[in-house]
Amino acid sequence: MSMKETQEIRLHARAQDEENKETKNGAARNYKWWIRIAMYILFLLCGQSSATLLGRLYYDKGGQKKWIAALVQVVGFPILLPLYFISSSSSSSSSKLGKQTKCSSPSLVALSMVYGILGLLIASGSVLASYGLSYLSASTFSIILASQLGFTAFFSFFLNSQKFTPFIINSIVLLTISSTLLACQPSSSSLSGVSKANHAIGFICTLGTAASAALGLSLSQFFFRRVIKKESFRAVVDMIIFELLVASCMILAGVFASGEWKDLSKEMEGFGLGKVSYVMTLVWTAIAWQVFQIGFVGLIFEVSSLFCNVISSLSLPIIQVMAAIVFHDHMNGLKVISMVLAIWGSVSYIYQNYLDDQESKSTTEDSYSNANSGVSKEASSI
């Protein structure tokens, strides 16, 4: 056997060993990754569903403070502070792809602008959500909120060059029809004692909530790419905490400006479940929203903000079922059709993400095979 053949055999064996090690390490990482994703999805779905139902419970038992209800959606952000220990123990300067980012850090003015804009969107969305949930049932509120996917695609088209494929267009159309059906026949989804005018206000406010949340997600992705220029876990946690801090300050100013803080004790005494239950309802609502935020942060970091948005739409059937059990929401034919259309639109959006992921994997595999073929050619020419 010649020296050249021996060298080729050694190179091939070494490459095979390295490939086997990478395969084993990749399988272990993939297993742990799926566990983390499942945990984050559970946090997101449980947190969002519980927070929506608790918010409806607050109004159902006599609560009337719109600004207070908005404040509890954001004021629990200190619960997220322990995530800083996780970010410090991990590679905070690495991106989602595991590569070190050497770009310069954004200025304080730029970061303040980013957190201010996103905080304003969160504050406005929270206030609109509190008004919407006060005039709509939990099931109707969740169906209309599913239109957030359509708004996300719309804003991402202008901000993040989102492509409009047939599946995305189908999703937007179905979600639009789903919300329109409820708007055309408000009597089928109104709460007892809520006028048609207030029902219309609730519908518009909930639609505004979906639009502001979608714009916030699209802008988050835009700011990450153009201003922050990295998607490390620490950067994501910073954005969530500081934007919630800004939103809390804005809503707190609204609480004092509206005078809602003056007669809190009176509302507490008149709450249908008692004083302790009044406090616990607000506290657990705040905690539930932060559990949602933990899942939200995790999915943004591990996958993408778009995937996080899609997963949040899966809470729709959970809220529908729980609202029917807890609040005895009337599930007539119109609501069922609207829910089916909303789920269909969400599934269409999810399938498009699946196709994009498969295309991305195929491109990566082709690049890897081309690189390996080039290495093989070089080795054979030695």
Please provide residue 93's backbone torsions phi and psi, each rounded to the nearest 5 degrees: -95, 0
pLDDT at 120: 96
CB 199 within 8 A of CB 141: no
pTM: 0.78
- Cα 196 to Cα 254: distance, rounded to the nearest angstrom: 27
- Four-residue CA torsion sign, 66, 68, 72, 78: positive
Which residues in the chain come in under a pLDDT of 50?
22-25, 27-28, 91-101, 375, 378-379
pLDDT at 118: 93
- The 10s digit of each residue's pLDDT in 79-131 is 888 877 776 655 444 444 344 445 567 888 999 999 999 999 999 999 999 99
95: Cβ contacts below 8 Å, ≥ 6 apart: 101, 230, 231, 232
Burial class (CB in 10 A: 0-12, 13-18, 19+), 367: exposed
pLDDT at 380: 54
- Cα 206 to Cα 212: distance, rounded to the nearest angstrom: 10
Total Cβ atoms within 10 A of residue 227: 13
Q: Which of 330, 184, 169, 308 is nearest to 236 (CA)?
A: 308
CB 206 within 8 A of CB 144: yes
pLDDT at 97: 39
- Cα 287 to Cα 282: distance, rounded to the nearest angstrom: 9
Buried b / exposed e across 354-365, counting CB within 10 Å, b at 16+? Answer: eeeeeeeeeeee
Structure letter (DSSP) for residue 188: G
pLDDT at 185: 59
Place of tokens 């695609």: 153
Place of tokens 């050694």: 10
CB 126 within 8 A of CB 65: no
Structure tokens at 12: 């091939």
pLDDT at 245: 95
